[in-house]
Amino acid sequence: MKVLITGGAGFIGTNLSLDLLKAGYSVKIIDDLSTGLRGNIPVEAEFINQSITDINHIKEAIKDCEVVVHLAARGSVPRSIKNPIATHDVNSTGTLNVLEAARQNGSHYIFSSSSSVYGSNKTLPKNEKMVLRPMTPYAASKLSGEALSLAYAKSYDLPVSVFRFFNIFGPWQRPDHEYAAVIPKWINKCLQREEIEIFGDGEQTRDFTYVGNLVQIISSCISKKVLHPEPVNLAYGNNISLNQVITILKKSFPDLKLTHSQTRRGDILHSKNDPKLINSLYPEITVKNFEDSLVETIEWFKSKYK
């Protein structure tokens, strides 16, 4: 079976492509390298250096692929606030391009949405039946992608699987750009003996999800062609504060230094998933606990950036 991964040179795409290749799949990657890295792409994978905003390139890339895992996106809440049109072009229009190509090819289509679609809905834990209230252009673009994906499933009988990713972390995550996620950014700061900046008091919580668990889910979805008529939250009910992350980091970096800044506009204070649905669909997945996953990630960063 051949799998196309959009955004496959990014953090999640790299982990997924390595896993699929190891399992015997053929892998094709399309990525414009705007945030992904050419060096992340396995030599065994076929690579197309193009953007999903060009539908002709997507159609050409997908034509011999039974599955497309759509990871390509313009990420980051702050970046979407700074440039909402660019976010829409990639995350909404680009997603429509991938869907149309998948429809014409009859591919199983797997979409990566985001927990940010819950937005100002403060009820915890999150579940898939809750009202969605996006607060930022990024969140709105991801909700648009969800709606388009489900509409294609119903209108064209396209096999569709939609996941809402929560805060994914692990090896291969970039720490070195303006909109880097908090865990890789902090680990890198520790390695460089630089001060860590916390926006707010550090008591905000996230349902941090190890990329290894995500890859297991996506791989199982592909191999078993698991379909569900609605989006599925991909997180396991972690309720980890940023201060708890700091406490674990201090075990590896005792000289860690902190500074606090004002809370950023658009940031959600708390996020936690009810994993009932994900557990029912993928009961075979064994979930690694947060501290062990973070320590494994730290060790990977030490080996990569020492």
- Dist. CA 238–CA 281, nearest whole Å: 19
Fold for the domain defined by 2-168+209-234:
Rossmann fold (3.40.50)
- Dist. CA 145–CA 162, nearest whole Å: 9
Cis peptide leading into residue 125 (ω within 30°): yes
Per residue in 148-158, pLDDT tens? 999 999 999 99
pLDDT for res 96: 98
Per residue in 7-60, pLDDT tens? 999 999 999 999 999 999 999 999 999 989 999 999 999 999 999 999 999 999
pLDDT for res 266: 66
Higher pLDDT, 267 or 248: 248
Q: Which residues pair with 196 in a beta bridge?
A: 258
Per residue in 179-195, pLDDT tens? 788 999 999 999 999 99
- Dist. CA 222–CA 227, nearest whole Å: 10
Q: Kindly list the catalytic residues.
A: 138
Domain range list for the chain = 2-168+209-234, 170-206+238-271+288-305
- Dist. CA 236–CA 249, nearest whole Å: 22
Q: Which residues pair with 206 in a beta bridge?
A: 240
| Of the candidates 97, 109, 62, the residue with the CA atom closest to the CA atom of residue 221 | 109
Percent of all residues in the chain with a pLDDT value above 90, rounded to a whole number: 87
CATH 3.40.309.10 for domain 170-206+238-271+288-305: no
Residue 81 three-state SS: helix
Length of the chain measured in residues: 306
- Alpha helices, DSSP H, located in 41-136: 55-62, 77-82, 84-88, 94-105
